[in-house]
Amino acid sequence: MKTIQSMMEHLYWANSLIAEGMAKQNVSHPDALTLLRHTLVAEKVWLTRLEGKDSFEFVLWASGELQELLHMVKQNEEGYRAYIGKLREEDLDTIVHYRNQSGQPFENSIRNILTHVALHGQYHRGQINRILRMESSEPVPVDFILFKRQ
């Protein structure tokens, strides 16, 4: 449980840092905004599935406004903190049955879903940082070890 909690703490920190970094630099590159929105919507999709609900209403790939995305960062953190706060170690191996956005059925453990959520965002934050660098903006350092050094 401690590893999952640590990875999720990093996710909250990294999401906030990259969104705030983009806001401070007035980043408006549509690909960067789309990637950040995708990351945040995917997190919401997985939380919805973990809560036993359908996630069909969510559009994974679309553009977003930075102020809306900053709000989503906070909403996601609150939602995951509430969900994880109720989990016990033995709950992590519980199997969750869900359908993907195309309606195809799948099942995975809570542990694997939370691990995926934590890792998925790091991939896209890296893509965002590449865009920032290409646009002559400063990349936002969001590596796990930097989080742990604080």
Q: What distance in Å separates the CA atoms of residue 82 and residue 99, rounded to the nearest whole number?
A: 23
- Whether the Cβ atoms of residue 122 and residue 18 lie closer than 8 Å to each other: no
Best CA proximity match to 3, nearest among 77, 76, 89, 79: 89
Cα 56–Cα 94–Cα 81 angle in degrees, nearest 5: 70
Q: Identify residue 66 by its one-letter amino acid code.
A: L
What is the C-alpha separation between 22 and 66, in angstroms, rounded? 8
Known binding-site residue numbers for a divalent metal cation = 38, 120, 124
Beta-carbon-side half-sphere exposure of residue 18 (alpha carbons within 13 Å): 32
Residues in binding site: 38, 120, 124
- 78 Cβ partners below 8 Å, 6+ apart? none
